[in-house]
Amino acid sequence: MTHYIYLVRHGEHQDAEHGLVDGPLSPRGRRQAALIADRLSGVPFDAVWHSPLMRAAQTASAVADRMPSLSPQPSALLFDCVPTGMTEETPAVFEPFFGSVTEAEIEAGSAQMEDAVSEFLVRKSGEVHELLITHNFVISWFVREVLQAPAWRWMTLNQANCGLTVLAQRKGRPWALVSHNDLAHLPFELRTGLPEAPPV
């Protein structure tokens, strides 16, 4: 018996180009959401959780439209956040990123992700399938946690809009990374949100 966690980054939102915090899905984001919903339609989900932000909630709605038996639930533990600040190990190239991030935001993000790991990366009995629709940095932190990588490594793990990452834990074994940022369901023109464009 295996516990699976499916991590999906929300679809592209309309205000992404303008630097705004949140907004509805763009037309391209709605297409991304529909395609990830199709991709996941055969999974027998036990629960679907999403960030309360609009772009994640609307992505979750697209999944529910495809699988009407599901009732996605918001979780404040899946909000967009910054999990850490600069550490002694963090390469200096990342320093400019933290210029606009406050200590309070970092403290809140660190506490949130500690709680999120305690809430979601906990083995449940039986065969379990859970879907978490959230944000790039949150998924990065979960992957870093499973790999037991240094804290700063979350900054090197990026997910495209509606990319699929799967974690799994079999009884008596540690969590494993099954797949990361799988984009097979998205045509090339819908692969958005990465710092660098992925290869064809």
Strand partners, 91: none
Residue 97 pLDDT exceeds 70: yes
Mean model confidence pLDDT for the chain: 93
The secondary structure element, H or E, covering residue 80 is none
CA-to-CA distance for 29 and 10, rounded, in angstroms? 8
Confidence band, pLDDT 50/70/90 cuts, at residue 22: confident
Mean pLDDT value of segment 115-123: 95
Q: What is the pLDDT of residue 20?
A: 57
How do residues 128-140 score in pLDDT, each as one tens digit?
999 999 999 999 9
Q: State the Cα angle at 141 between 138 and 146, rounded to 5°.
A: 130
Confidence band, pLDDT 50/70/90 cuts, at residue 197: low
Instruction: Measure Cα distances from 111 to 14, 91, 108, 177, 180 in Å.
Output: 29, 23, 5, 23, 24
- Domain locations in the chain as residue ranges: 2-190
Q: What is the pLDDT of residue 125?
A: 86
B/e letters for 53-83, b = 16+ CB within 10 Å, e = fewer, are: bbbbbbbbbbbeebbeebebebbebbbbbbb
Q: What is the pLDDT of residue 199?
A: 56
Q: What is the pLDDT of residue 27?
A: 95
Residue 17 pLDDT exceeds 60: no
Q: What is the pLDDT of residue 92?
A: 94
pTM: 0.94
Beta strand residue intervals within 99-182, DSSP E = 128-134, 164-170, 176-182
Q: What is the DSSP letter of 144?
A: H
CA-to-CA distance for 95 and 92, rounded, in angstroms? 5
What is the architecture, at CATH level 2, of domain 2-190?
A: 3-Layer(aba) Sandwich (3.40)
Confidence band, pLDDT 50/70/90 cuts, at residue 198: low
